[in-house]
Amino acid sequence: MASLVALIVPAILMPALVTTELSTNAPLWDGGWNNTTTAVAPPPEPNRTYQDPTYYSVNYRIIGTIFQGIIFAVGVLGNIMVVIVVMRTRSMHTPTNCYLVSLSVADFMVLVASVPNEIISYYVLGDEWIWGRAGCALFIFLQYLGINASSLSITAFTVERYIAICLPMKAQTMCTVKRAKKIILGVWLFACSYCSPWLALTTTTAVYYKGHDNIETCTFALSRHHYRSYFFADIILFYVVPLLLSCVLYGLMARVLFQSNFNSKANGSTDSKKSSANSSSRVQYQRNRNEEDEEKDYEEDRLARAVQYRWRCSFE
């Protein structure tokens, strides 16, 4: 979730991007606002299109850095704590927590691969990339790997919950820690294999700004229309299918839980009626016993008085 927020915040703040024509050779961290020095621009070469330098506004930098910094700190700290607590607490070594650890690792990966670069982008030219060709491929690969592994981990967790709730007899043999570890390993291997083409599908290209040279940007290695099928498969495999599967399984789980709750209430009402009837029967039985005992005592007392009377008469 933290990684998702980290990717959304820049899109919200994007209108703050401003264009500033530089007449200086100011350092990057100065944002091009120091106009006291004279620029020493390289001579323009023919057949090149030079763009006006663009920087983010000061307000955008401050707000974006604060928001992204908070998201990064909370996300990284929270995900690391989840992993450490589950690993160190033996009683928490359950299939459910195994999937949560996988989800935390994926979320941590997305945060590390996206947020620092986003913060750096506030203080460089609009689309400047400072990590080179290898960094471009690696960071894009890690972002897609974390997002896809997160989606698959959530799906596996949902299936595990469905088995535990709807098929409790099979859950004892199917929902085990050993099996969960194997599933998580398969999830990450599949995600790595699926995302590995990004290591070759990204590259850096030179961009030319007035007053600057040797500027690179991280972009697609091929024409963008070649990526349509790849993105379409991405949406189907990691968004549409998991969403539909989760909706169906959670619907079945809700039905089972609702029926179980309804049956327990019905059984409780029947048991209370039976208990009330049994209690009434016991009270009536005890009442009859008391009446019988009273009659018996009365007869015994009357017989004793008759014997005493006859005994006295015999002596008289």
pLDDT tens digit string along 13-48? 444 444 333 333 333 333 333 333 333 445 555 566
Q: Assess whether pLDDT exceeds 70 at residue 261.
A: yes
CA dihedral sign, ordered 99, 2, 72, 119: positive
What is the rounded distance in angstroms from the CA atom of residue 202 to the CA atom of residue 179?
A: 36
Residue 293 placed within a domain: no
> How many folded domains does the chain comprise?
1
Residues of the chain with pLDDT > 90, as a percent, come to: 49
Segment 213-222 mean pLDDT: 87
| Cβ neighbours, 10 Å, residue 87 | 12
Residue 306 placed within a domain: no
- Six token digits for residue 90: 């033996």
| Cβ neighbours, 10 Å, residue 228 | 9
**pLDDT at position 160:** 93
Half-sphere exposure of 246 (CA within 13 A, CB side): 14
pTM for the model stands at 0.69
* CATH number of the CATH domain containing 177: 1.20.1070.10
Question: Among 20, 91, 3, 89, which Cα is nearest to 57's?
Answer: 20
What is the rounded distance in angstroms from the CA atom of residue 67 to the CA atom of residue 62?
A: 9
Residues of the chain with pLDDT > 70, as a percent, come to: 68
State residue 224 phi and psi, 5-degree precision: -65, -30
| Cβ neighbours, 10 Å, residue 203 | 15
Helix, strand, coil abundance in the chain, percent, nearest 5: 75, 5, 20
Residue 277 placed within a domain: no
Q: Cα–Cα–Cα angle for 131, 124, 37, nearest 5°?
A: 125
SS3 state of residue 14: helix
Residue-number span of the structural domain to which 175 is assigned: 2-221
Residue 22 placed within a domain: yes
State residue 42 phi and psi, 5-degree precision: -65, 150
Q: Which DSSP category does 29 fall into? A: G
Q: Assess whether pLDDT exceeds 80 at residue 176.
A: yes
Maximum average pLDDT range among 4-8, 170-174, 180-184: 180-184
Higher-pLDDT residue of 74, 223? 74
CB 201 within 8 A of CB 138: no
Return the H-helix or E-strand segment holding 52: none
Residue 89 placed within a domain: yes
State residue 214 phi and psi, 5-degree precision: 55, 45
Higher-pLDDT residue of 228, 29? 228
Residue 290 placed within a domain: no
DSSP letters spanning 97-156: HHHHHHHHHHHHHHHHHHHHHHHHHTTS-TT---SHHHHHHHHHHHHHHHHHHHHHHHHH
Q: List residues bridging with 218 in a β-sheet.
A: 204
CB 54 within 8 A of CB 18: yes
What is the rounded distance in angstroms from the CA atom of residue 267 to the CA atom of residue 261?
A: 10
Q: Cα–Cα–Cα angle for 187, 189, 191, nearest 5°?
A: 65
Q: Assess whether pLDDT exceeds 80 at residue 130.
A: yes
What is the rounded distance in angstroms from the CA atom of residue 9 to the CA atom of residue 111?
A: 13
pLDDT band (50, 70, 90) for residue 308: low
